[in-house]
Structure 1
């Protein structure tokens, strides 16, 4: 595979993961706070891929690898929170507080659905969305790293 094809695949993978996340959200699976955290590095990776396809060098593919590693690490952390391996942020896990909510908020029959970070809302083959994000993101990181190795300095290479 050429450097540009690797970058296109890695950036496209982040785009596909984001599209899937937004599709699940549209289907009635609202994201928790940690799910939203995992989306930001994918957004960055898409921009990085576009820039890396335009400009040569190793710096941009290395940043793409870092973005994939970051979202993969967040996916592992989120998986650990979901599985009870470690405690998550108190703002979005079972230990969260009700600070800022009025009695009317608590008694409201209808309102926004609150998704806790320590609850698995969907899984496939025993892996949650956070787990799948980690697995695929680390695969994308490997593709980015191969693209780094194929890059030559700051010249634009195919």
Structure 2
């Protein structure tokens, strides 16, 4: 077995598991939104962005391990995924702090306005006036944690897993 083959197998495994796990986290959030009816606030939507960047990066890392790409490139991509998850954990901690009223949230997070009108002539004006739910109120708490709290745990666990993957693939 060559050195490249011995490095690529754990790198592929870590990259694939990261991609699937991150997709599951985002899929769960989308499920609560579209199936459960929980409308995300501005901070909730912002917390999804690192996942949207990290999932393709993890998939690219997995694909590159199957090619003759130097082993450091997929490892660097997994490191980037880990760093994105650290950023997301910070965003989730900030959001959870806003929900617990430890600090004020951004001014863009306002309380909900009235529903969207059924009158098509008012639709464009509604788009400019209707705001999402307040970032200061947790839509749901499970075992004492809001969606932001659970996202903090998930992001931190994914970051640790990515960093372990980088180290084990070395």
Q: Same fold (TM over 0.5)?
A: yes
Deviations 1:104-138 (A, max 9, x none): xx7xx532673111110011000000000000110
The structure richer in helix per residue is 2
Structure 1 residue 141 corresponds to structure 2 residue 141: no
Number of the residue aligned with 2:144:
126
Number of the residue aligned with 1:25:
33
Please report the RMSD computed on the Cα atoms of aligned residues, expressed in angstroms: 2.0
List alignment gaps of at least 5 residues for structure 2.
Answer: 1-8, 65-70, 117-129
* Runs of 4+ deviating beyond 6 Å: none
**d(CA) in 2 for partners of 1:133, 1:93:** 21
- Secondary structure of 1:2's counterpart equals helix
Q: TM-score, normalised by structure 1?
A: 0.81
Number of the residue aligned with 2:6:
none
Match of residue 13, structure 2, among 5, 18, 24: 5
Aligned partners of 2:61 and 2:78 also within 8 Å = yes
Q: TM-score, normalised by structure 2?
A: 0.76
Number of the residue aligned with 1:72:
89
List alignment gaps of at least 5 residues for structure 1.
Answer: 97-105, 153-158
Highest Rg: 1 or 2?
A: 2
